[in-house]
């Protein structure tokens, strides 16, 4: 199943989060301004996590709708 199919089917945020986290890991390279990277690293550190974990958390929250009220 694809993400778009899951959303179209009316899946709950919890179901979408499960779909997004239950898969194999892949390597991704991002190009971004140094200031953005440094700020994100600082925000991650303040939250007690690595930059990679912080980015994953932000993506999962955004894609699952958990960040929308």
φ, ψ dihedrals at 9, nearest 5°? -80, -5
Alpha-carbon distance values, 33 to 37, 39, 42 (Å):
6, 10, 14
13-38 per-position pLDDT tens digit? 999 999 999 999 999 999 999 999 99
pLDDT at 65: 86
**Are the C-beta atoms of residues 30 and 36 closer than 8 Å to each other?**
no
pTM of the model: 0.80
End-to-end CA distance of the chain: 26
How far apart are alpha carbons 12 and 6 in whole angstroms? 9
């Amino acid at each position: 199943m694809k993400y778009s199919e899951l959303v179209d089917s009316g899946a709950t945020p919890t179901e979408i989060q499960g779909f997004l986290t239950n898969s194999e890991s892949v390597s991704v390279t991002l190009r971004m301004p140094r200031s953005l990277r440094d700020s994100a690293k600082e925000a991650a550190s303040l939250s007690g996590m690595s930059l990679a974990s912080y980015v994953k958390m932000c993506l999962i929250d955004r894609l699952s709708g958990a960040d929308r009220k």
